[in-house]
A = this chain, B = another copy of it.
Amino acid sequence: MTSETNLTPGPEHKFTFGLWTVGWLGRDPFGDATRAAIDPVESVNRLAELGAYGVTFHDDDLIPFGSSDAERDAIIKRFRAALDTTGLVVPMATTNLFTHPVFKDGGFTANDRDVRRYALRKTMRNIDLAVELGAKTYVAWGGREGAESGAAKDVRVALDRFKEAFDLLGDYVTEKGYDIRFAIEPKPNEPRGDILLPTIGHALAFINSLERPELVGLNPEVGHEQMAGLNFPHGIAQALWHGKLFHIDLNGQTGIKYDQDLRFGAGDLRSAFWLVDLLENSDYEGPRHFDFKPPRTEDYDGVWASAAGCMRNYLILKDRAAAFRADPAVQEALRAARLDELAQPTVAEGEGLAGLLADKSAFEDFDVEAAAERGMAFEALDQLAMDHLLGV
């Protein structure tokens, strides 16, 4: 039923990839690299051929740590040329505050004050480049902001430092007049035993305490929430509800374990379906960004197959979700499950608290037993969703 035409990715789908994804060499905690390094320009070219809309990067992905200014400029010039040639854009960039051993205890919340200062300066420097390349979102993954043992980090004090860092970054882009916003990427653990701001919720709460909360939102990642066993579409729905979905990282994860970064669609497929259904029925208009790692079993043919699979799976699910929502039987099933009633305010327009308190039918005369007998009709609805997902 799904036409292959609908499955051809193009710039209109806003699919983006981190340079570090297709460029991952396959080094893992127990093994050395299985792939030779790839030139970022080649990644740009290949991704463009596959139908991507843009690329993103950590500073060190593009410009090796420790490069001279001249080397840096040459790299950037060549990279821009590749973007210009292919038409790919750079809607987002981010900082690597985790690979170098200086960040072993974190960046913005490292116990060492000089490391925190260095982390801020490193970030600001790459924000300049991000803005120069046209990025509108700057992601902050605080992967090393955390601890393995209880006394090693005073969390309340560390949150003070975390707030200080984002307030300073807000000052920086404001003073510079940059048109860019920050997106915090939560993760519960790995590489630290426990990471600060471990979930979408914790990061949303934190943002409210900043000096410029309007500049900061979220970049949630599928696998990170699933590493805490949380329902990713639920988390995205709450982020949207708060107006804070600034960016999104799509990938796959098979449950609570190490961070897998499988291609999108692998892992929890039903959750991926509901995620696409949600995104496509929301006001989120940003990139569909794939933050995945082609398994280290693969050579570069496998890398590109994996990247193509991310986009293909998104488009299949988009097609299926559209059909689901358009199906009259589904609409009837949604009514049977009283989703329309959920959309009605609990207290009527103008009724107010007084009205609710005065309404005997709401409590004194409410027939609890009769109400309890009504079935919710959720299983029939969910089977319709399964049929649409599977294209039956």
Contacts and interface: CB of A to CB of B under 8 A. Distances in A.
Interface stretch (A47-55, A81-89, A224-232): A224-232
B234 A375 contact: no
Contacts of A45: none
Interface string A347-362: 1000011001101011
Contacts of A151: 274, 330, 333-334, 337, 339, 378, 381-382, 385
A46 interface: no
Given A155-B233, A197-B201, A298-B377, 5 more contacts: A102-B369, A255-B255, A269-B269, A295-B378, A312-B383
Interface residues of A, number: 172
A12 interface: no
A132 interface: no
A92 B114 CA distance: 44
Nearest to A117: B362
A382 B155 CA distance: 16
A337 B148 CA distance: 13
Given A30-B99, A104-B31, A164-B346, A237 B155 contact: yes
A342 interface: yes
Contacts of A273: 150
B200 A152 contact: no
A326 interface: no
A100 B32 contact: yes
